[in-house]
Structure 1
Amino acid sequence: MKIVRIILAIIVLALSAYQLITENFELMPYSMLFLGAMILVTGLSELQKDRKGFWGYMSIVISLFIFFVYIPDILMN
Structure 2
Amino acid sequence: MLKISKAIIAVIIICISSYLLITKEFELMPYLMLLLAIFMLVTGLVEYQRNRKGFWGYLSIVVSLFILFVSIHGFFFN
Q: TM-score, normalised by structure 2?
A: 0.93
Is the aligned partner of 1:51 residue 2:52?
yes
> Matches of 1:31 and 1:55 in 2, distance apart?
22
Root mean square deviation of aligned Cα: 1.0
> Matches of 2:11 and 2:73 in 1, distance apart?
24
Q: State the aligned residue count.
A: 77
Is the aligned partner of 1:66 residue 2:67?
yes
Is the aligned partner of 1:8 residue 2:13?
no
Q: Deviations over 1:25-77 (max 9, x none)?
A: 10011001001100100000100111111000000000000011211321345
- The gaps in structure 1 that reach 5 residues or longer are none
Aligned residue in 2 for 1:42: 43
Identity across the alignment (%): 57
Q: TM-score, normalised by structure 1?
A: 0.94
